[in-house]
Amino acid sequence: MAPSLTARPFPLPSPRLSGAKSHRLLLGVRCGSGSGSPGSGDDDAPPVVRAAVSAATELLRALSPKKPRQAVEAVNAELESPRSVEEVVAVLEADYRRAYFLTGNFTLGIYAEDCLFEDPTIKFRGRSRYSQNLDLLVPFFDSPWLQLENIDKGLRVDTKFIIATWTLRCLIDITL
């Protein structure tokens, strides 16, 4: 069985860019078959915000053209599933060096197909859905910057996990 994966950034102060309003963008990934997680879930957004983000995501998905992920999926098809948490950490570090969250170029092979992806505003299951959501989000980033701050391994009740702390700074362009 492949190691389970949890990546959950911690709350960070919001930067002020160009006098625009600042907002925290907290995102996380929880993947594995075990119940529970290293995070407590106390950082969930209010239900109205969660509903708005889910509705906006579904609207964007419905209106966006379907495009296949050629290059990344071809590379991922050649990769074996990681055999250890250390291998997953190495792949994650490489993904962060490529600023995967800003490009949508991430390694699908380290996530189970039914992986649970969750942040304070949205929760969904499936690595293909995560890939689609990144493709929807990337065009809205203006002057993005992503930096991996720390990545740690842990163990809780026979479940290995990884916690990644990272910073994302950007303006979100929502002009229509």
The per-residue pLDDT for range 113-158, each reduced to its tens digit, is 888 887 777 888 888 888 888 888 888 888 888 899 999 888 888 8
Nearest to 134 by CA among 48, 37, 55, 64: 64
Domain ranges of the chain: 5-10+26-32+45-172
Backbone φ, ψ for residue 136 (5° rounding):
-75, -35
User: Residue 94: its pLDDT value, please?
Assistant: 93
User: Residue 8: its pLDDT value, please?
Assistant: 40
Distance CA 55, CA 147 (A): 29
Distance CA 40, CA 29 (A): 14
User: Residue 69: its pLDDT value, please?
Assistant: 52
User: Residue 79: its pLDDT value, please?
Assistant: 56
Contact at 8 Å (CB) between 34 and 10? no
Could you count the other beta carbons within 10 Å of the beta carbon of residue 4? 19
The per-residue pLDDT for range 26-78, each reduced to its tens digit, is 344 444 433 344 444 446 788 888 888 888 888 888 877 766 554 445 445 55
Contact at 8 Å (CB) between 95 and 106? yes
